[in-house]
């Protein structure tokens, strides 16, 4: 039997803010090519975990082994509410930013790159929106543009934080198909979601988080009534004045 190659490994991982843990003592491996949903109640530490994966937040304890993947090579989509849409940038230029890692910040965009940008915009259904500034887009149109940028990043590890929040069903369906396509290409995709029915339908593996792992494995075995009730209870009893972690030596 071939040993599993891990895209990520969490080793006694604790993440938090001002030394107050938001995710603690997490252990486990994410195999290469995994399509993983991260679910849990509000305050469960889901977004915190993603910030740790992409290197925006350093561990308080333990570590994240990225299997040699550089942090800047990870494609990361934060929550839509965290993105400043007041900046006067066009859809075309926003999508083109997906080429920065390969072309460099001041690298020229040649004919092949322009074709790639145009193709990505077309794939997400935004033909004709190229010159529109992002501040004029609806939430669904903005998310489509951000997915087009992810397409151009061509990353092996893709991390998405609530990509379907407040979107219409057509947009959710279209973007879900893109995630399924990435999975079919052997990419590793980790997605924070609230819609458990969508998770059951689209995601073969799930991590149920409530500041620590409640369950992790095949989705039908994780999303049981008992596990979900346990996760809710664990988050409800969390006290905001919990002891801080000891400072690292």
Say how far apart CA 44 and CA 206 lie, in whole Å: 14
Overall domain count for the chain: 2
Query: Which CATH number goes with the domain that contains 33?
Result: 3.40.50.300
pTM assigned to the model = 0.90
Average pLDDT over residues 54-64: 96
The number of beta carbons lying within 10 Å of the beta carbon of residue 208 is 25
Report residue 20's pLDDT band, with 50, 70 and 90 as the boundaries.
confident
User: Is residue 242 over pLDDT 80?
Assistant: no
**Angle, CA 237 vertex, CA 234 and CA 239 arms, to 5°:** 120
208: containing domain: 1-74+155-249
Q: What percent of the chain has pLDDT over 90?
A: 78
Inter-residue contact 77 to 51 (CB < 8 Å): no
User: Is residue 249 over pLDDT 80?
Assistant: no
Q: Which residue has the higher pLDDT, 5 or 57?
A: 57
**Residues 224, 167 within the same domain:** yes
Report residue 133's pLDDT band, with 50, 70 and 90 as the boundaries.
very high
pLDDT tens-place string over residues 182-234: 999 999 999 999 999 999 999 999 999 999 999 999 999 999 999 999 999 99
**Residues 193, 243 within the same domain:** yes
Report residue 246's pLDDT band, with 50, 70 and 90 as the boundaries.
very low
Taking all residues of the chain, what is their mean pLDDT, rounded to a whole number? Answer: 90
**Residues 51, 164 within the same domain:** yes
**Residues 146, 226 within the same domain:** no
β-bridge partners, 227: none
104, 130, 152 — which closes off a domain?
152
What per-residue confidence (pLDDT) applies to 108?
A: 64
120, 152, 184 — which closes off a domain?
152
Report residue 40's pLDDT band, with 50, 70 and 90 as the boundaries.
very high
User: Is residue 181 over pLDDT 50?
Assistant: yes
**Residues 57, 164 within the same domain:** yes
**Residues 184, 140 within the same domain:** no
**Residues 100, 141 within the same domain:** yes
**Residues 101, 42 within the same domain:** no
Task: Return the DSSP state at 36.
Answer: E
**Residues 87, 55 within the same domain:** no
**Residues 239, 163 within the same domain:** yes
Report residue 243's pLDDT band, with 50, 70 and 90 as the boundaries.
very low
**Residues 46, 125 within the same domain:** no
113, 135, 152 — which closes off a domain?
152
Inter-residue contact 25 to 60 (CB < 8 Å): no
User: Is residue 23 over pLDDT 90?
Assistant: yes
**Angle, CA 168 vertex, CA 166 and CA 191 arms, to 5°:** 60
**Residues 60, 172 within the same domain:** yes
């Amino acid at each position: 039997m071939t040993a599993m190659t891990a895209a990520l490994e969490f080793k006694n991982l604790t993440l938090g803010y001002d030394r107050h843990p938001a995710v603690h003592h997490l252990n486990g491996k994410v195999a290469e090519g995994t399509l993983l949903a991260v679910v849990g109640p509000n305050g469960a530490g889901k977004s915190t975990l993603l910030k740790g994966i992409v290197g925006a937040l350093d561990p308080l304890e333990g570590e994240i082994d990225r299997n040699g993947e550089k942090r800047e090579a990870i494609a990361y989509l934060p929550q839509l509410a965290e993105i400043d849409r007041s900046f006067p940038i066009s859809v075309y230029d926003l999508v083109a930013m997906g080429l920065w890692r390969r072309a460099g910040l001041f690298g020229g965009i040649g004919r092949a790159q322009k074709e790639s940008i145009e193709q990505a915009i077309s794939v997400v259904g935004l033909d004709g929106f190229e010159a529109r500034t992002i501040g004029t887009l609806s939430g669904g149109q903005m998310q489509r543009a951000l997915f087009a940028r992810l397409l151009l990043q061509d990353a092996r590890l893709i991390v998405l934080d609530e990509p379907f929040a407040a979107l219409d069903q057509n947009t959710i369906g279209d973007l879900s198909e893109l995630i399924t396509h990435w999975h079919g290409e052997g990419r590793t995709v980790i997605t924070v979601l609230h819609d458990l029915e969508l998770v059951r339908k689209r995601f073969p593996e799930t991590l149920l988080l409530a500041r620590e792992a409640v369950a992790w494995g095949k989705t039908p075995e994780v999303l049981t009534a008992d596990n979900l009730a346990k996760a809710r209870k664990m988050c409800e009893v969390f006290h905001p004045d919990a002891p801080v972690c000891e400072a690292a030596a």
